[in-house]
């Protein structure tokens, strides 16, 4: 099982829902677009954590 946590409650933590709100033309995007967006959010978070807590 791959572990997934809910989004962080933060003004700056990006989510697909916030992204769609800012870019409504993307609301019918295929699931792959959402998954890749969320993957990039996770990668960015991991990088931020590397530089902020190491």
Task: Choose, by CB under 8 A, the member of 28, 31, 32, 54 that binds another protein.
Answer: 54
Judge contact between 50 and 32, C-beta under 8 A. Answer: no
Q: Would you count residue 48 as binding another protein (CB under 8 A)?
A: yes
**Residue entry with tokens 């033309």:** 25
Tokens of residue 53, six digits: 């807590």
Binding-site size, another protein (CB under 8 A): 24
Residues 4-43 that bind another protein (CB under 8 A): 4-5, 8-13, 42-43
Residues in touch with another protein (CB under 8 A): 1-5, 8-13, 42-54
């Amino acid at each position: 099982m791959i572990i997934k946590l809910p989004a962080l409650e933060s003004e700056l933590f990006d989510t697909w829902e916030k992204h769609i709100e800012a870019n409504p033309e993307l609301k019918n995007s295929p699931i792959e677009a959402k998954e890749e967006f969320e993957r990039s959010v996770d990668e960015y978070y991991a990088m931020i954590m590397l530089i902020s807590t190491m």
